[in-house]
Structure 1
């Protein structure tokens, strides 16, 4: 008001236009409605002062951890935390962990386990370079992304999740038959690197859907359409099920995502009372 509409429009015109399209109200005349989004309901991985997780030697930086910014998942703050962690924290903290190994010396690779992993990696690289497919890595990545967006997103249901698992499996099978990776193995080859990552995504995506299917409740940033309050003051709100789902899921790899075995780590809350969140 003090600056006048022309100044506000010059600075934030596009934002106000988007708001009016969504809400159908003129933000220059009616105060904008601002409310907490799902970002604020999400936690993160616990880290200590040095940003190391509960797994010794495993560090977590940026918005994925639960340190100074806590549950703040807004873009600028998350980016700031990633930069701060990477530039100013980790260079001084990881060294503390590695200091005990400074005199360890060369570690032998003459082990059965090393040979097995080395062969597995070499075989995969050889496959990607020599497979004469017709579709690019991006082709499969985009198809996977569409399935994840449409059926394994913020809002999901049993029917879509089961369809997603089947569709992702089909995409993965086609990927291993018809993917094309240009270039060679002995050069800087971004497409080769991307192929390995997308291969992992195609397994992880199906496991995401499987995990979401098992967790038949609305909790955190995800809404299960079958788990909703049907009446009363909370009608239409997300319905949690702490009785059956107060655990962290750890899936054991068995080769195929559909065959993964669920291990439950029970959650104990001693100092806080679990309550269902409402935005009404």
Structure 2
């Protein structure tokens, strides 16, 4: 949903610069919890130019979520890595609290966005699906950031997420997926809060997780319910590109990535399947597929 695309950047305090660069979500307060054990889940950090001097990056912030799928490949959403100023640089952090790290780095390195980014993250090279943005049936909203494996390993310990086999979700079908345990993770903001100035989405920058339940399966998408009365939590702005894990055959599998949902972040998480021929073809040059 386009509203989520804008708010992911808003949560990172840069919507006025690149309002078209983002698409989704964050983890809600209800039925959610911290996720320090999900060390493969990270935040996408960016530096970019935001003034009249195009040669100098002067902004830095976390902007999306994602997952390490091998030692040097970070999976996220295409809308997280497109429509930026030409001098944008992307970084990945696997810290539990990226926002706190950036706040401390701003005090230590005032006026130096690159130093602030390097204090919390490792720089990489983004590769976006060449057919993004695609039609509604399959938006090709998938991207990876290739990282120097040695630098990542020197800073964090993690086990890469397991990707699904070809058409695994299709094989299970709605009945099988309905009985599957689902968990979303990410760094995004919280569900809409009503205040004097209208609705806001506070928080963000800390890795959280929440349970979801299956709603519907499409050729490229899964729709997951975030309704609190059913014990679900959910995603919100800033969770774009982050993982939606499904327990398949007793194993945690990265089945899909968060892309969009409803504006207030109360009802539905719309996620991009990773078991489709298109997603697998895009990922094949970067990671060994099961």
> Shared topology, TM-score over 0.5?
no
Q: Which has the higher contact order (CA 8 A, sep 6+)?
A: 2
Highest Rg: 1 or 2? 1
**Which structure shows the higher helix fraction?**
1
The TM-score with structure 2 as length reference comes to: 0.24
